[in-house]
Amino acid sequence: MQNLFISLLGYFSSWVLMLVTLAVALFAEAIHTFLSSKSLSRRGTVVSFIPLRDIFRSITVPVSLPENAAVRLSIYLPCLALAGLIPIAASIPFFSFVPVMDNGGDLMQILQFALLSETLAILSVLSLGTPAAEATAKRMMNELIGLIVPMMAAFVSIGFYYSASGVQGDPFSLNTFTKAQHMSASVPFSLTGTLMFIFVIFSRIPHSNAGFGCSLLENCELPDFNGAPRSTLQLWSIFRAFLVVALVTHIFFPWVFFKGLNAGFSISWWAQSVNFAAFWSTVLLIRVFGVTLCWKVHELLERSIKIKSCGTWLYIILTVTATLLVVYEGIKISMETAAF
């Protein structure tokens, strides 16, 4: 009975921490929107907290759907899409004290949950049955491909690098990636390729070009779709973007610093609390400033290069180049090892 009570308490704390993480994601979105509004107001454009205001207003209004909508799909699929992100969040260390999924989960499984969640969100929009909904779903599919391809390329190439380096354990495990050997100055090609992956992934996180953040339907799209399902989809889009930043922060940056915070604490949950706060504060800062910087640089590159579909070509070239650099470093290391 006591073990059952401890298990329930542990899972309860996990759900509380998940809500805290979602609150941090919303806080990051609010900061980004505030800074964007300040920047645009200097140019004479009036901007308010439209994404967050729309989310919380939509929760309180009755559900309304287009006439041709598949009602049950439109209502329930947004909830399932949001639920699909929970295993991804639970696989990230510093997310919870009692993980639902093993910390250090397989990266390919994480991508499968991400694809499942994205598919459910796209189907929920398609189920509205209007031309505007079809256009939005098509844009979501293009954004999904633009984000998932560089992430898969990064996971596969860095996993190959670790296999060639002779690292023990699953090369696609989060625990293996946290060693961050691919970010060492002693492997310049891998380091350069990894930095390029970071830039491509951050710049391809779905966002609005109107100066706002990652909230879906933030430009008053699909006005005939209101209520809790719309708010759920918008929460899903913000949380999805925040988890991408968290994964990149965890995978591509050394986390020895966070482990070092355990020193000086005789009580383990105090140390875990400090790690939790430090890690998610870092993710918040990277989401607000690092991701925004990548968006801005990507926009400048698109403007400076006068080529049709410049953004797509730029993203393909950078992804292929980054993959080749990391793979080359792995081949180089394996050849050096074989020579000895």
Return the pLDDT at 277.
80
pLDDT at 105 over 80: no
**Bigger pLDDT: 41 vs 151:** 151
**Bigger pLDDT: 71 vs 93:** 71
Question: What are the pLDDT digits (tens) for 61-75?
Answer: 888 888 888 888 889
Cα–Cα distance measured from residue 76 to residue 99, given in angstroms and rounded to the nearest whole number: 26
Contact 77, 126 (CB under 8 A): no
**Confidence class for position 227, pLDDT limits 50, 70, 90:** confident
Return the pLDDT at 127.
92
pTM of the model: 0.85
Question: What are the pLDDT digits (tens) for 277-324?
Answer: 888 888 899 998 999 899 888 888 888 877 777 778 888 999 999 999
**Confidence class for position 46, pLDDT limits 50, 70, 90:** very low
Give me the number of domains the chain comprises.
1
Domain extent, residue 233, equals: 2-339
Return the pLDDT at 100.
45
CA distances from 278 to 103, 211, 232, 260 (A): 18, 28, 28, 11
Return the pLDDT at 186.
77
Q: What 3 state SS string does the chain have?
A: CHHHHHHHHHHHHHHHHHHHHHHHHHHHHHHHHHHHHHHHHCCCCCCCCHHHHHHHHHHHCCCECCCCCCHHHHHHHHHHHHHCCHHHHHCCCCCCCCCCCCCCCEHHHHHHHHHHHHHHHHHHHHCCCCHHHHHHHHHHHHHHHHHHHHHHHHHHHHHHHHHHHCCCCCCCEHHHHCCCHHHCCCCHHHHHHHHHHHHHHHHCCCCCCCCCCCCCCCCCCCCCCECHHHHHHHHHHHHHHHHHHHHHHHHHCCCHHHHHCCCCCCCHHHHHHHHHHHHHHHHHHHHHHHHHHHHHHHHHHHHHCCCCCHHHHHHHHHHHHHHHHHHHHHHHHHHHHHHC
pLDDT at 9 over 80: no
Return the pLDDT at 320.
94
Average pLDDT over the chain reads 79
**Confidence class for position 338, pLDDT limits 50, 70, 90:** low
| Alpha-carbon dihedral angle through residues 227, 228, 230, 233, given to the nearest 10 degrees | 180
In DSSP terms, 173 is beta-bridged to: 106
